[in-house]
Structure 1
Amino acid sequence: MSTPPDVSVVIPTLNRPELAVRAVRSALDQTHRELEVIVVVDGPDPATEAALAQVGDDRLRVLVLAERGKAPNARNQGALAARGKWTALLDDDDEWLPTKIEAQLRLAATATRPSPVVATRMISRTPRADNVMPRRLPAPGEPLSEYFTVRRGLFYGDGFIQTSTIMAPTELLRRVPFTVGLRRQQELDWALRAVREKDVELLYADEPLVLWHQDEDRDRISLQNPWEEQLAWQRANRELFTPRAYAAYTMSVLSSMAAPTRSGKVFRELLSEARTHGRPGPLDYVTFLQIWTLPPALRARLRDLIVGRRASASSPASSSAETESPGKVDAR
């Protein structure tokens, strides 16, 4: 490109050429044209390089890393290479709707702080149904750690942020990089650290502008449940949470990872963690017990029945396709 773009799009990928090309095309098809797309190939991958070479758009740049470092590192490398004032993140298995960047830039212009993080709602798509997430946006003055973690019902999806919805100043992504080595809750970790910066505010576009593909026929690290790693991260970052949020996270997200152990010792450890360092509410106890006592398949059926019925009553196009624990994982 002869002139610097307004927005740099960073897409980490490895060994998924068809998905990477789909993501790239959704970025290049944006109504806002002054952008570049940086695909960060996370280690040698000739098939992906060959597929991207067929795209035929001079706004596409391909950065091949010498060795694999996983998605958080790839995002950081993409932000370092970005030329735009803004950097928007896109996972290789997701897609954007055409007006996403245009809507985010319009919203960014209304910011009251110099470094706004601009997110959007998204469509969570499974073979069963589509569901718009988050179901609600942050209330004025609501602590963001509570917005992301505290449930108002038995099932997740009230507050939410996902990597492919995020656009932020490139300088901020360099100042607050993604945590390399963290397998789960990468966007939650980043968002909670970013909003602690004095010049940052979080804005949400009301429209669902990202298509989040779930339950597709491919390997996913989400089939693993690294609850011990996640507990260590949570303990090391306790200052990011209010006591209310710390308890809610422990008794919902973390418990969803740990419950397949069916271990009474782990059950007691997490309950003690929430009570000692957090402030659980009544719904947290109900959530905790249903996660530990009901089989995951039964919980999913109940979720589909309850949330789907509620959603269909308000919007025929919306149904329940949410996950028990939020956030993308590093599947590459």
Structure 2
Amino acid sequence: MRRSSWCDGGRRSRAHRGARRGPGSSGPRRNAGRAVLTKPTVSIVIPSYNRLHSIASTLRMLAHQTFKDWEVVVVDDGSAIDPSSAFPTLAPHCRLIRLDRNQGPSAARNAGVRASRGRFVAFLDSDDEWLPEKLELQLAAVLASADPDSVLCYTQTKVVESESAFSIQPSRGIAAGENPADYLFLEQGFAQTSSFFVSRKLALAIGFDEQLRQYEDYLFFISARLHIVGYIFLQAPLSVWNNDSRSDRLSCGSGKSIANATLLASRAGAGFGRKAYLRFLMTHLGVDLVRRDPKFGLALAAEAIWARAVTPRYVMRQILRAILPDDVYSRLRGDRKVKGQMN
């Protein structure tokens, strides 16, 4: 019998024990008094790039999940240092996949999904966190749906900007029939990869766009509408996005960011209307566009106001943020996160 460890589960939670077994079910089966381990129920896919130091703490954090029938697939995205030497001591039962060159988080996640063995996939970035009950609650919600293999489950996220500033997003889930791009950018919605829980079948069908190095989580969420019967939202902050600690984040307003924004709109197609796109640009790139190219940035702001994608007050706040030093702007707003604003 395979040795149980905190890295790939070994027992099942109450929620899973109570679920009806079917062709896609997994977990320990009893045979003549011996446990015969089958495929895990959930595969946790973790992309990593030069973050070996954070992988160890991430794996220790996963030990506290109340649901235990899972595996971990760590995908190293061409890191400069070979991380394989650390894995025998860190997590002997976790699987490590190495890409021969850096291809970006989308390619790493896709490789992890292809290598996964579970019926369901949960995505986790190496510097993000989960609350202990995340997998158990999401699995229970998905299994309670009419078609567990065709839903995307996501949760509220605690967005940490600094030691003193954080927000809980979103305030509500997407409504039935609501356009996902409108939900994300016009209705103060929010969707972050480390909160996603889907079937492996669905993850393969949607996929992460490997040309995008930014905003790939938005495109995954928007594109899901073509493959799913519905979204499931858990109104509890079960994941933590440490938005202040990412040394590999792209600079907003750079040529790459604008190119990624344009590609996102192109890939999303008819599902991404002009009004939602203008709101997206103002939210994610507006401040830096005003700083780098005031004429273009202000023209974009005027168009966004005319389209009623943003309010004049919102634009004034963006302009103040662009022209004032960061510490002055933070003091001006009391270092409080503006509700619904994604930066």
CA pair 264-85 structure 1, distance change in 2 beyond 3 A: same
Instruction: Tell me which residue corresponds to 1:173.
Output: 203
Q: Is 253-262 or 178-187 further displaced after alignment?
A: 253-262
Q: Is 290-299 or 86-95 further displaced after alignment?
A: 290-299
Residues 138-287 of structure 1: matches in 2 within 5 Å?
138-151=174-187, 158-197=188-227, 199-216=228-245, 219-226=247-254, 227-236=257-266, 237-269=268-300, 271-272=302-303, 274=304, 280-281=307-308, 283-287=310-314
CA pair 262-304 structure 1, distance change in 2 beyond 3 A: farther
Asked if structure 2 preserves the Cα contact closer than 8 Å seen for 1:253 and 1:325, the reply is yes
Count, aligned residues: 300
Instruction: Tell me which residue corresponds to 2:141.
Output: 107
CA pair 188-34 structure 1, distance change in 2 beyond 3 A: same
CA pair 213-265 structure 1, distance change in 2 beyond 3 A: closer
Q: CA deviation at 1:24?
A: 2.2
**Structure 1 gap segments, 5+ residues each:** 152-157, 309-319, 327-332
**C-alpha deviations, 1:77-105, integer Å up to 9, x for none?**
00000111111000011111111100100
The structure having more radius of gyration, on CA atoms, is: 2
Secondary structure of 1:230's match?
helix
Instruction: Tell me which residue corresponds to 1:82.
Output: 116
Secondary structure of 2:83's match?
helix
**C-alpha deviations, 1:145-194, integer Å up to 9, x for none?**
2221115xxxxxx3111010111111111111101131221100111011
Asked if structure 2 preserves the Cα contact closer than 8 Å seen for 1:85 and 1:169, the reply is yes
Residue type at the aligned position of 1:213? N
Secondary structure of 2:226's match?
coil
Superposition RMSD in Å: 2.7
- 1:5 aligns with one of 22, 40, 52: 40
Q: How far apart, CA to CA, are the structure 2 residues paired with 1:270 and 1:321?
A: 19
Instruction: Tell me which residue corresponds to 1:97.
Output: 131
**C-alpha deviations, 1:196-243, integer Å up to 9, x for none?**
22x332111122111221323x62324343342134224413412244
CA pair 231-71 structure 1, distance change in 2 beyond 3 A: closer
Aligned identity (percent) is 25
Q: How far apart, CA to CA, are the structure 2 residues paired with 1:177 and 1:87?
A: 12
Instruction: Tell me which residue corresponds to 2:5.
Output: none
- 1:43 aligns with one of 63, 78, 86: 78
TM-score (norm 1): 0.80
CA pair 231-269 structure 1, distance change in 2 beyond 3 A: farther
Residue type at the aligned position of 1:88? A
